[in-house]
Amino acid sequence: MWTVVYIAPNALVAEQLKDKLSKEGLLVTLRVVGSVSLEEAKAVEVLVPETEAEEASEIINE
């Protein structure tokens, strides 16, 4: 099951976090909130598998 670990204010921030988490070996996916495309997104959820959520949160908060 995927878990939201961060809600980014736009696609750029979401992509940066995705890259950072992926480089640490985590599986990451993005989900647009309230919009049809990533480019137009006002908010983007950053999700990881539930088992990696704690590690992802620690990496984000560094």
What are the structural domains of the chain? Answer: 2-60 (3.30.70)
Give CA torsion, residues 54, 18, 39, 37, to 10 deg: -60
Main-chain phi, psi angles of 54, to 5 degrees: -65, -45
CB atoms within 10 A of CB 17: 20
The pair of structure tokens assigned to 10 is 């736009």
Indicate the pTM of the whole model: 0.89
Please give the DSSP secondary-structure letter assigned to residue 51.
Answer: G
- The per-residue pLDDT for 35 is 67
- The per-residue pLDDT for 30 is 96
In tens digits, the chain (62 residues) has pLDDT values of 999 999 999 999 999 999 999 999 999 999 998 866 777 778 999 999 999 999 999 999 98
